[in-house]
């Protein structure tokens, strides 16, 4: 029993001594360390080059010529959290129409909608001409309206379920990435 008591005292003393440096810091020291840490995270890379802001792009993944539908989405290299392509890159914007009279569109009978990552969006998609993304979502939506007409907007990451979706339409150049919007990841969009 005496040994257990000594062990308990020793452990308590070690824990108390290890906490002293933390308790002895002033609020100014803690604030200065936090500010320095935040500056390091947001500063340019060590090479001295400015940080590059990136946005999310998707690709055409599959075409179903029988139904006139396509599957678009994230690809190997897509980054839905930080963006994957510099916002200074001119690429088409993926636009969608899925609301208004006649929408959402019915799922074609022969389209497989069982994979939650490739859900039916209920709309029609198309791409604009390659463009450097505008600074605002409203500006990007205006490009979709200009290209396709009223009711069109930038396609969003969650228009299906997430990561990919199926819709009627096409994407112009099937080998080219295109800009998409992601509503819940501000660090992965250009607008």
| Whether 21 and 83 share a structural domain | no
Q: What is the pLDDT of residues 101-151, one digit of tens each?
A: 999 999 999 999 999 999 999 999 999 999 999 999 999 999 999 999 999
| Whether 6 and 27 share a structural domain | yes
Is 88 a member of any domain? yes
| Whether 75 and 35 share a structural domain | no
Instruction: State how beta strands 119-127 and 164-169 pair.
Output: parallel
Is 65 a member of any domain? yes
Q: What is the pLDDT of residues 145-181, one digit of tens each?
A: 999 999 999 999 999 999 999 999 999 999 999 999 9
| Whether 11 and 92 share a structural domain | no
Among 7-11, 78-82, 117-121, whose mean pLDDT is lowest?
7-11
Map tokens 């539908």 to a residue.
69
| Whether 38 and 60 share a structural domain | no
The number of distinct structural domains making up the chain is: 2
Is 49 a member of any domain? no
Buried b / exposed e across 140-162, counting CB within 10 Å, b at 16+?
bbebbeeebeebbbbbbbebbeb
- 22 pLDDT higher than 50: no
Is 130 a member of any domain? yes
């Amino acid at each position: 029993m005496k040994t257990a008591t000594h062990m308990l005292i020793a452990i308590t003393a070690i824990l108390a001594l290890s906490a002293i440096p933390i308790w002895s810091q002033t609020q100014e020291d803690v604030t200065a360390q936090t500010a320095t840490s935040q500056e390091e995270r947001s500063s340019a890379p060590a090479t001295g080059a400015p940080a590059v802001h990136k946005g999310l792009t998707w690709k055409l993944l599959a075409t179903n010529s029988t139904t006139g539908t396509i599957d678009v989405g994230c690809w190997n290299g897509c980054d839905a959290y930080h963006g994957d392509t510099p916002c200074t890159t001119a690429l088409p914007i993926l636009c969608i129409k899925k609301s208004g009279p006649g929408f959402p569109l019915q799922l074609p009978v022969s389209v497989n909608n069982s994979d939650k990552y490739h859900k039916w969006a209920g709309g029609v998609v198309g791409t604009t001409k390659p463009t450097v993304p505008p600074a605002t979502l409203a500006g990007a939506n205006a490009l979709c309206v200009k290209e396709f007409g009223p009711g069109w907007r930038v396609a969003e990451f969650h228009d299906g379920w997430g990561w990919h979706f199926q819709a009627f339409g096409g994407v112009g150049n099937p080998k080219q990435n295109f800009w998409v919007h992601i509503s819940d990841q501000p660090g992965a969009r250009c607008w």
